[in-house]
Every structure is written in C-alpha cells, then in structure tokens.
Chain A
C-alpha cells in the first residue's frame, strides 16, 4: 500500500468544522461521545439553534493529522441526527471573552485596549467592571495576555463561531 506512510505521518492541522444537527435531546452527548470514545481532540465547541428550523449548528475546532480529520468528518456524518458536516477551508472566526476586573484599576486604559479588540466595557458595579472583546481566537488570546496586568478576577471565553467567506 503505496502512500500509506505519508498519510499516517502527515502534520497536525487545526480544523474548523461546522455540523448541522437535529435539535433533539441526546445529540450533544452523541457528538461529544464520538470524540471521547475515539480519542479525538475538541479544542472548542459552540452550539445554538438555527433560525426557524428543527436544527442546531455546532461549531467544532479540532486538531489532528489528515487521517484523523477525515475520520472525524466521516464519523460525524454517520451519526443519525447529523444533517450536514462542513470542513471549513476559508472562514471568518469569532471568539468572545468576558473579563471582570476590580474597579480600582485604570478604567480608561482598560477601555482603550478593549476597543482595540472590538470590545467595550459592558457593566460596572461598585466594586468591579466587566469588559468584553470579540475577535479571532489568536487575537483574543493576545488580548487576555495583555489584560493580565490588570489582574482579572474572572475570565470566560465563548468558544468559536465560524462562517465560510
């Protein structure tokens, strides 16, 4: 079997996959179960119902070599409640982060940086503020790093949503 080895030893790639599934109970666990049972990786997973339809869309970010990604796509397709699987090639990706800081920080600085990452201050109370930012994943990671110096009290990320260009 000629090209066998190259196929196995190919490099690890990051793949964004979107899956359209019937919006019924048990489906999320089927998808997650598929990944865990076969030892595949989920880097990020988001789900929401689709407009005016009995379906939901899941966006999954995973990593693996070509063989693994092929299998993931095929296995997803094989699940009975799955309508469609898209292996995205060229997508716009968005990731959202919410960060909470003590009110004692320099709020003007925080506001300026957040805005550089398509973000803003979302909420202010007596003792804390919450900032959001929405951007590509790598930029969000960068944002979190930058904001570390303000000693965040809490950080929550959304996972990725993606759309083919």
Chain B
C-alpha cells in the first residue's frame, strides 16, 4: 500500500499492538500528528512536558512489561525528552521514542530547531536511528520495538526528518526482524549451570541477591520457587522490591546503603552469593572490595558486559534469567543440597534483633507513617511510584510490597520529577481496574514535573500524590547534616507553594494534613472519589533515613537507629 511516511508511523505502531502513546507535538513532527488525528488505533495522551512523555511511557512499561511509546518534536522537544531516555537506559526499560527532525535538506545547516538528536541520544539508548530513506522506515520501527524489548531491554530512539514523513512510499511491514549482528544470548551454558548448582549444593550460607533483572525477565515467582525448594534466604535490591514478597519467610529485606540490617549482614556473611539480574551498583555494595568478601559468586545476567564488570564471577552464567532459574529448579533433584536452616535461623535472629523501625509520635507525623498506613489500607491493590530522595528510601523500606511490578522507581539515574509522570503512565495502563496508583513524593521532587497534574485531570487518571513535606531537599540535607557539619547549603525549602491550591488549580483534589486522623480522612476521600489528588502531609523535618552505610564503608558498618526499641 502506498502512503506517507507519517501514515507509515501510525500503521507500524498499530502492527506493534500499541494501545497508547505519550507525546507532545511541534513543527518537525506535525505530519505524524496529522495522522494521529485521523486514526483510532491508539489513544494519544498529551503530557505537558516532553520529559514527562518519556517517563510516562516508562511508567506504562514498568508496570505492565509492555513497551512504552513516546513521540516528540525536534530540537527542544527532543532535548527535553533526554532525561527520561537516560532514566530508561539506566534501568533497562523497554521504550521506543520517536522524534521529528528537520527536513533532510536542512540537516547540517543549523536550521530552526535542528539538533543532532541521534548524537545526543547515542550514549543513553540501547540503539538509535536517523531515518534517511522512506523505504527504511517500516523496517526501522520494527527493529526498534524488537531491540527495545529483547535481550537486556532499553530505550530505542528513531529520529525522522520532516520530509520523510511527507514522502509517499510503499508500506511493507516486515513480519520478522533480520539483524545478523544482534543475537542476545538467551540460553545459559549447560556446563556453567551445572557447576553453579554444584556450588550451591556444597555451600553453607548461600544467599539469593535479587536485582531488577528479575522483574525485567518476569521471573519473580520462579525465584520464590527456587528459594523455597532450596530453603535459601534472599535479599533484594531497590529495583527488585516486590519480587520475593515481603511476607515471605525466606526474605530478609532490601540490602545496600539504606538496606536492612539482616540483609546487609547476610551479604556480609554469605559464602555463596547468587546474583540474579543484579548489577552490583555502588549504592548496593558499599565498599566494593569488602562486599560479600567471604563469598564465591554465581553471577547470572543476560548482559555479558554486566558480568565481571565490578566483581569477579566464579560461576558466570550469561542468559535469560527466567530460563536459567527454571532450569535450576528442574536440576535440584540431581543434587544433594545441604540443609541451610541454621543459616536461615541466624538471619531471622538478626532481623528480630534489628528490625526496620522508626520512632513514631502522635504530634508530628513521621514520614514513614503514611507509607506504612497506605500499605495497610491498600496492600496488594496499590501500585506505588516514588520520586527521588528520603521518601523514596522510606517507601522502599516501609511499604509492604507483595508482588513484582508493584513498585516503580528511578533507581539507576535517580531522577527527581519521575514519580508523577511514571504514576500517570501506570494509571493509564491500569485504567478501569481496581488498582490504586499512589506516588510518594517530596516537596522538592514534585515541583519538577508538577504540570503533569493537568495531564492526570484531563485524562481522568486518578493518581494520588502524597507529598511528604519536610520543607527540605531532605536527602541532600541528610548528607549535609551527617557529612558536612550541618552546613545546609541551598536545601532549605521553606518558600513553598500552597500545595492544596496548586492541586485545585489543576482541577485535582487538594488536601493539606498534619495529623494522622486528617491523613486518613483525606486518603479515604481521594480513593473513594477516584480523582487525581495531591495530599500534602506536614511531616517531621529532621527525620533521617536509617540504617545507613556511609559512602565508602562496607555493608556491616551500618549506622542504625538509636533510641527506644
């Protein structure tokens, strides 16, 4: 069929089964928008900033596992999008970003709104394309979706000049991708798997170290199975929250800089660290040469570059985590596995001795309290996103996660402004279900993409934003207090908008609360009304995120909460 390049974009997205795109129009992408206007294959959501388009696409992808799509214009549209793209890259989130470019005849002349988009996105995409010929367009979009979602997932960027979207050509959508240079290793090496299983059967204190890859490869439940069949304890990284399920008796918490005592001690004492889709991030390992220093390492990852990047793997396995874990489960019967109950008991003692806790009060709300409270009220029904800062760590610590993809956070890049647009993307994905999407955010972070309240209200996406207002850039303030002799350089946020009125100005529900009772009432109201909402909670200003492993220390050197137990 003959059609314009712009129409080809629409038809290709349709072929890929896209049901929603997040976007923002402009000169160079107008041909595509004209076709968006005419079609009814998918819904287009107009965000109010391109960064939010990309992060919303991420929120959609992170909560569903499907590939998210964002469309933006050239120049400033594209540069606005780049933080979202970098965010997706760091956390390996499958999204496809389509950007308009100035006509091919103008490329290289510093034309109006021209920017070297593929040059800018190169270091923060899995792959990118500049479409030079209309014949290539369908193939490139097909490849983009394939690359984004297979192997180690990631963002793929397609930059399309305006004259290409105007040209007419034959639309032939390939049924298969044919990329001889792209062959991600899905299947583990059998010999390596066998050696790893032998190592497990001979270990005394093995530990499952579960990372974000467990969610990306959709094998949370298989990992629970593996842990149960082997009676091996497990700890999670920030990105993996929800994989084990917090009620699981073999789960000993999140590890890392703000990890739980039992989790960090488990990593410190284990003699066999079994890394499942984790990447040994410095916020997880603390001092690298002290991390799991008594352990041999089984390192399973789909990305060969992750293996032995930071630590030496004694038993490296390259392959899809899901297939590998399934094979491990099947192979258990061929081994005589040690009994690890003493080890599990020891970790239980650690957990009882130093549980995660905070000192609750009735006068000033402690920031951890609303998080626990929402957990109690919503439980499984919640999808939780966060911004970046103390509130993010408290949510990771205190929210009772029960399943994978319940937790959406910016781990690798730590992008303030992430929470609201990501929640919006998730809310779109679960529209019409009984899921309640809650964004825990800070008074600093929320202002970085506050305009998305408008998107929420226009598209009736009932995100509940809970602003834990401590009048500080809290996390930075915490570091200043601990490591800069309390010199609070530019972290005081006493100058603030009236959050309640701000919410109402965007046609959302607005609340300001400072007691537990008020919080309960506001939250109940927001859930019942099913409208986008912002609940400002006045919380204790100087609360710290604890435990904490100071930068450059090893995981067993934690600062723990002092005071009443």
Contacts and interface: CB of A to CB of B under 8 A. Distances in A.
A7 B313 CA distance: 11
B115 to A, nearest CB: 15
Interface residues of B, number: 29
A contact patch SS: helix
B229 to A, nearest CB: 26
B281 to A, nearest CB: 16
Interface string A68-91: 001100110110111100000000
Contact of A1 (B118, B123, B181, B297): B297
A125 interface: no
A106 interface: no
Contacts of B122: 26, 29-30, 33
Interface string A31-61: 0010001000000000000000000000000
A2 interface: yes
Given A1-B295, A80-B126, A67 B308 contact: yes
Which secondary structure dominates where chain B touches chain A?
loop
Given A5-B289, A83-B180, A83-B181, A78 B303 contact: yes
Nearest to B118: A26
Interface string B261-301: 00000000000000000000000000001011101110000
A58 to B, nearest CB: 14
A37 B120 CA distance: 13
Given A1-B292, A71-B305, A74-B305, A81 B311 contact: no
Nearest to A78: B305
Contacts of A83: 180-181
A80 B50 CA distance: 27
A3 interface: yes
- Range of interface residues on chain A? 20 to 34
A30 B179 CA distance: 17
Given A1-B292, A2-B296, A80-B147, A7 B305 contact: no
A92 to B, nearest CB: 27
B127 interface: yes
A22 interface: yes
A3 to B, nearest CB: 6
Interface string B304-341: 11001101101000000000000000000000000000
A22 B129 CA distance: 14
Nearest to A83: B181
Given A1-B293, A80-B182, A71 B309 contact: yes
B320 to A, nearest CB: 16
A76 to B, nearest CB: 10
Contacts of A80: 126-127, 147, 179, 181-182
11 contacts: A1-B314, A2-B312, A21-B181, A26-B118, A26-B122, A26-B128, A30-B122, A71-B305, A75-B305, A78-B305, A83-B180
The 9 A-B pairs of least Cβ separation, nearest first, read: A74-B305, A80-B127, A83-B181, A74-B304, A7-B312, A37-B123, A4-B312, A80-B182, A1-B311
Interface of A: 1-5, 7, 21-22, 25-26, 29-30, 33, 37, 67, 70-71, 74-75, 77-78, 80-83
Given A37-B123, A83-B180, 7 more contacts: A3-B312, A7-B308, A22-B181, A26-B130, A30-B122, A78-B305, A80-B181
